[in-house]
Each structure stands twice: as structure tokens, then as C-alpha cells.
Amino acid sequence: DEMDSIIRAIALDEGVVRGGKGCNIVKERQKKSSLSQIDKGNIDWAIKNNVDIICQSFVEDQEDIREIRKYLNNRCDADIWAKIETEKGIDNIIDIIKEVDTVVIGRGDLIPESNILKAVKLENIIINECIKNKKNIIIGTHILDSMKKGNQPNLNETESISFFIEKNIKGFLLAGETSIGVAPVKTVKFLKDAIEYFEGEI
């Protein structure tokens, strides 16, 4: 139960931990054998409300997706997306790609699961495999972090958007910029304008 999985830790750096936040302990994630009741309830809600997409987080092998398809049992025709956030998921990326319509690269967790330098290499592995297999790619998180506080986007972020569009990325997934950022509308508008501009240039 939950009490068996409590970890006591000492914080070495100060900061704020908001409610509902997780903690990355590399290679120590417990593998669940099946969908939880909460997962099943969410899928039932998705079916009832005719959603277009069902996205599974922390996909590490093709069985994670097959369980969803089995539970769906052809009750809806939503696209199935896999969010890849760990090295294990990348090790199994070829098998995972066969089971999904789109791959989301979850950089927010991929960085602490590896490190910020290795994450770039792993990100490119996913992109290259998806391009090779004609699968859609979504870049998730760390798109416009500087805009969380209402600041203007910086050059690095803008160059990154351009780079991914040149790679034929299907889309971007904002996270903190719109969930806790002070200028969500401004951020979405800039991203939309940037996409349209760079797509026109390319």
C-alpha cells in the first residue's frame, strides 16, 4: 500500500514543492502489472465523452499500450499516444512505435531520469526512429520556460522551436507555461506565431 512506498529524504537545496508533484528516483519506478482503477475510470470517461486522444504517460514497453487497447476493446476510435520519459522507454522505442499513433517526448521527466546533456541525445534517438517509421512526434515541456513569469521568450527557446519544425515535428505540448505560468495566453499566442512564421520560412 502507499505506506510501504514512503521515502524519507533530507532536502539539500531550498525550494517549493507544490501539492501533487512527483519525485524522480532513477531506475526505481515500480512496474504496475495492470491499469489501476483510476486509469480505467479515466478511460471510461474518455470513451463516454468521445475524446480524440488517449495519452499514456511513462510508457516503457509495448505492453503498456496493449493494456490500454485491451481495456478499450474497440469501444472508441481515439488515437493512442505514448509519452516517453525514461531511458527504458527509449530502449524499447521501436516496439512502442508499432503500437501507437503519436509519440510525445516528455522532456520534463526525461532530464532528471537521465541528465540534461544525455537527454538531448535520447531525444534525438526518439525523433530519428519516429521519422524513420513515419510516426508523429510531439515535443513536450521546456518549450517556453522563460515565459512562465511573463518574460519575453529567449533566443535559445525560439531557435529550438525552429529546429524542431525543420525536423517535421507534429506539435508542441506546453506544461508549466500554461498550468502555473502568469501569461498563458501570451505564451500560446507566441508559440502559434512562431510555428506559423517558421513553417512559412521552411
Task: State residue 15's pLDDT score.
Answer: 79
For residue range 137-176, list pLDDT tens digits in order: 999 999 999 999 999 999 999 999 999 999 999 999 999 9
For residue range 68-103, list pLDDT tens digits in order: 999 999 999 999 999 999 999 999 999 999 999 999
- What the block records as the C-alpha cell of 24 is 524522480
pTM over 0.75: yes
**Cα 47 to Cα 31: distance, rounded to the nearest angstrom:** 26
State the pLDDT confidence band at 28, using cuts at 50, 70 and 90.
Answer: low
DSSP letter (8 states) at residue 147: G
Is residue 43 within 8 A of residue 71, CB to CB? The reply is yes
**Cα 44 to Cα 55: distance, rounded to the nearest angstrom:** 14
Q: Where are the alpha helices (DSSP H) in the chain?
A: 37-48, 62-72, 87-91, 93-97, 107-113, 116-132, 155-166, 176-179, 184-201
